Amino acid sequence: MMLREINFDGIVGPSHNYAGLSPGNLAATRNAGKASRPRAAALQGIAKMRANIALGLTQGILLPHPRPDHRWLSDLTTSYDAAPLHLKAQALSASAMWAANAATVSPAPDTADGRCHLTVANLVTMPHRSHEWRWTLAQLRQAFADPAFVVHSPVPAPFGDEGAANHMRLCDGHGSAGVEIFVYGVAGGPFPARQHREASEAVARAHGLDPARTLFVRQSDAAIAAGAFHNDVVAVANEQVLFTHEHAFADREGFHADLRRLLPSVEIVEVPASAVSLADAVSSYLFNAQLVSTPEGMALILPGEVSAAVPVRRWLEALVAGNGPIRRLTIVDVRESMANGGGPACLRLRVVADPTTVDPRFLVDDARLDVISALVERHWPDTIDPDAIADPALIAEIEAATTALYAALGVDP
């Protein structure tokens, strides 16, 4: 098998709106009540996928969930028409666009049975996300039906699991055995800690990981308080490189020592707080970048917001001018998704696998993205005003758009 990293990006759904449903996600709460632009958001995400393909990366997709989630409302003994406004907003949420929260993935070289394991995230901490897992699980079981994969049901409540956004893997190459790092938080600060250690440990056991090469690392309280609601807002890893903020982890020295012991080739690229504050790192989504391997070396795929943050821009310019492992910066415009609290890394789930074992309906090239773009142009709402979510005409438009996409791609909802 030829293992390579595949980035599965979530297509931004037609119900993308700014309801401010996620405490601790500073961008999402700051933009609550503003008009959203679902069509522009989806097209920006597609443009980012094209940029990945241009870098020579293998690109996959995950589809938006049918919205509103009538099944969830039925479980609450109500309907969309009858539900109070806050339940309408939670049932309509397009937050499944954040594919980094879809699942935790352990590639075959790390697992006891030599298969790639995926555990769908339960997302129980936030009501608007807690009902995503059924739809995500259905897609994962279609995309990864080959015997090379094992797709697990979610960790049971009350232990919160938010998927790959709190998981990193370091290795000498994507196809070699790695060190898997599960980052968890502890409650008690101004914002909820969404990843519980118990959930991370359950996922590691289900995936058959070697305990000697598995780390459970606590996120710093300062990072959570600054708005790092997921680890991928303050750290990202790729192959042997960890790109991280100085204040990302509660026990920085101990974590770094463990990494150097388990993977002597590790290169830790740390941004000091004296150069970039936690506040600047979070607001610019510096670390919510895709750190990827290209023939020319490692590249960071960054949101355009890093250019506007002067300390961040200066540090990045110095980074690529040096002789470190990160050689290239690629800036993408994902402004509409950034306004809802997620950057380039939030939009994608990384799966190391042989592409021939993945259902081809979930892999894309430029021609397939042309088909998806045309559907978005034709069916996605241009704007959604916050007071429009009770409008039956808007709901009908959203439902028709999702149905058209699933039908065109031949995927079962």
Closest listed residue to residue 93, CA positions, set 72, 67, 130 = 67
Active site residue 117: no
Query: How remote is the C-alpha of 140 from its chain's centroid?
Result: 15
Do β-strands 214-218 and 235-238 pair in parallel, antiparallel, or remain unpaired? unpaired
322: CB partners within 8 A, 6+ apart: none
Which one from 207, 230, 245, 379 is the annotated catalytic residue? 230
Which among 248, 318, 310, 247 is positioned nearest to 280, based on CA atoms?
310
Q: What is the dihedral of CA 183, 187, 193, 195, to 10 degrees?
A: 50
7: phi then psi, degrees, rounded to nearest 5: -95, 115
User: What's the token pair of residue 162?
Assistant: 């938010």
Q: Is 243 exposed, middle or buried (0-12, 13-18, 19+ CB in 10 A)?
A: buried
Catalytic residue among 207, 239, 247, 346: 346
Give the DSSP H/E element, type plus range, for residue 352: strand 348-353
Distance from C-alpha of 204 to C-alpha of 206, rounded to nearest angstrom = 6
What single-letter DSSP state applies at residue 167? E
Query: Both tokens of residue 197?
Result: 């250690």
Contacts for 313-316: CB closer than 8 Å, 24+ residues apart:
314/275, 315/271, 315/275, 315/276, 316/286
Active-site entry in 162, 180, 305, 336: 162
363 has which bridge partners? 60
Cα(233)–Cα(302) distance, rounded to whole angstroms? 12
State yes or no: is 230 an active-site residue.
yes
Contacts of 396 (CB under 8 A, 6+ apart): none
Q: Residue 262: phi, psi to the nearest 5?
A: -80, -30
Question: What does R_g of the chain's alpha carbons equal in angstroms?
Answer: 20
162 flagged as catalytic: yes
Strand partners, 152: 119
Residues recognised as catalytic = 162, 230, 346
